[in-house]
Every structure is written in C-alpha cells, then in structure tokens.
Amino acid sequence: MSTPSDTMMAVLERLAREDAGLGDPTLMPPQHARALAELTNTRWNAGLPEMAETRTVIHAGMPARWVVPKNDKGTEAILHVHGGGWALCSVSTHEGAARRIAEACACPVLTFDYRLAPENPYPSGLADVLSAWRALDTGRRWSIGGDSAGANLSLAAMLALHDEGAPLPAAALLFYGVYGADFDSPSYIRNAEGPGLTRAKMMRYWDWYAPETKRGTPTVAPLAASDAQLAAMPPLYLNAAELDPLLSDTEALVARLRALGRNDDYDLIPGVVHGFMQMGLALPEAADAFSRAGEVFQRITA
C-alpha cells in the first residue's frame, strides 16, 4: 500500500489541524459546501506568481478571469475549466492554478464560472464550457484544460466538438480527471477512504451531476467514447495522483490512447492525493507538476 510522501504528509497534517470539524461538503446543502470550498481554498491563493495583466471579465455571459504572464509568447492561450466535483469551486478558488498554468505555459489563461450541480446537472456545465469555447477570440491559438471534474468537462467538450465537426483545441492539459464511473476500479478500492477524496464522496458528486442512466454517454463519462472519437483528439497531456480514487480512470484512458497508437504524455505523481496541484504554495510536487505541464504544453504546441 502506497503512503503519502513526506511533504504530502506535512500538508495533510496541516489540513487536519486547520479543517478539524468542518465536515464533508458532499453531505451539506450545496450552497454551504460552496462557501466552505471558497473559504478553505483561500490559503492556497497567497504568494501567487505576479502577472503582467489580470482582469475580471464577462465571457459568454459568465464571470471569468483573464491572467497574462510576464513571459507571454503572444501566440497561445488556454481555456481552463476548474474542478470541484461539478458542484463546487470557482475562478476565485482556482486563481492560483490559473496563474501557475499561465506562467508555466508562457501564455494567458481564461477561467470562468460555469453552472454547478446539483441545481444544474449534466449537461448544463458542459453546455457552458462549449459556450465559453465558441466565444473565444481568434487572435491566438487556443487550447483547453482542467483539473478533476474540469478535466472531465474539457475532454467531454472536445468529444462534442468532434461530433459536430467543429475545430478542436490545439492541445489539452488534463489533470487527475474523472473519466468514468466505475467505483469498483482498483484505485477506487485501494483509496476508498482517502486521504482526501474518498470513494463515497466521489459517488455523491456523481449523483449530483448525472444519473446512472446517463453515465454511458461519452460526454458524461469520456471512457465511453469510441476509438474513433479518442483517436481524433488533439495532443493531450495527462497526469494522475497516486493516492487518488480516480487514478484508474486516467490509467484506463491512457491505455485506450496507447492502444490507438497515440503517444500522449502521461505522468503519475507518486505519494500525492487528489487535488494536490491546488496546494502549490506548500507542496513541491505541485510546483513540479505545473512546471512539467508547461514543458509539455510548449513542446506539443510548438
């Protein structure tokens, strides 16, 4: 059985102290869970990389955040879809992630507040991602990406665009994504009790987002996509956390891609939990993961 790295353990111990008694967000009314997510993510949004430009804007009718790094090369841009179980988080909780991605990839990042479950289940969030994509300006070449549920929505959006015959992003950055709903996969069993994300929490997020009858739909669970759909995807960068119930999702997706003869970059980050990239201020593995994503992004979009 794998164990957290020393640095990950130090962060987990800190969280245990700071968050003692806060409760499980998936057992709260959604509005309370969102307020808790905003509060607890504040600690990760200090000491952020300084940007050349930061603006709060309205994009496709949604509140959005535009960040431009000092090392912007002027040609690329990334639409980033935040995670949070399709139900939590916002441009505010992921300000740090947006800035770190922008700096690592040497291009602007646009994040936005899509509609959240359970009040707005599938396909609402996906429809908002597609609206955000279609409203992008054409002054740059755009890629897409996201973490966790945001990775799910990013891949689902690309599958939908492919099915429409619409142009696809130049590339995609997919961090520890949700790609299926097999709660008996090896990692769901091995990491059922966490630390961090648990099997039970993930099952409740799924219940908020999409009923079982829809989970065989590729734009809900991208592992259900056909070989032809996956083969048509742009260059992908995928990573996964070792101590994550969702690890098997990424492993299954990578295996599908490899079987199709694709050579998409994939990194398994040992000793870390789901959501570790949100902890960039305190966790060296997170800083390294952003750097690695930027390295791959600049290579596959060159």
Residue closest to 100 by CA, chosen among 289, 297, 261:
289
HEC secondary structure over 57-110: EEECCEEEEEEEECCCCCCEEEEEECCCCCCCCCCCCCHHHHHHHHHHHCCCEE
* Choice among 82, 94, 162, 274 that is catalytic: 274
Please identify which of the residues 148, 154, 185, 187 carries the catalytic annotation: 148
291 labelled catalytic: no
Name the nearest CA neighbour of 179 among 235, 102, 244, 114: 244
Strand spans (E) along the chain: 51-59, 62-69, 76-81, 109-112, 141-147, 172-175, 236-243, 265-273
What type of residue sits at position 251?
E
Based on the residue annotation, tell me whether 143 is a catalytic residue of this protein: no
Q: How far apart are CA 85 and CA 67, in angstroms?
A: 24
What 3-state class would DSSP assign to 191? coil
Q: Is 148 a catalytic residue?
A: yes
Catalytic pick among 72, 128, 244, 249: 244
Q: How far apart are the first and last CA of the chain?
A: 40
Nearest to 172 by CA among 297, 82, 47, 256: 297
Euclidean distance between CA atoms 26 and 17, whole angstroms: 20
What are the residues whose beta carbons fall under 8 Å from the beta carbon of 17, sequence distance 6 or more?
none
CB within 8 Å of 174: residues ≥ 6 apart: 145, 146, 151, 154, 155, 236, 237, 238, 239, 250
**In whole angstroms, what is the distance from residue 120 CA to residue 210 CA?**
10
Q: Supply the residues annotated as catalytic.
A: 148, 244, 274
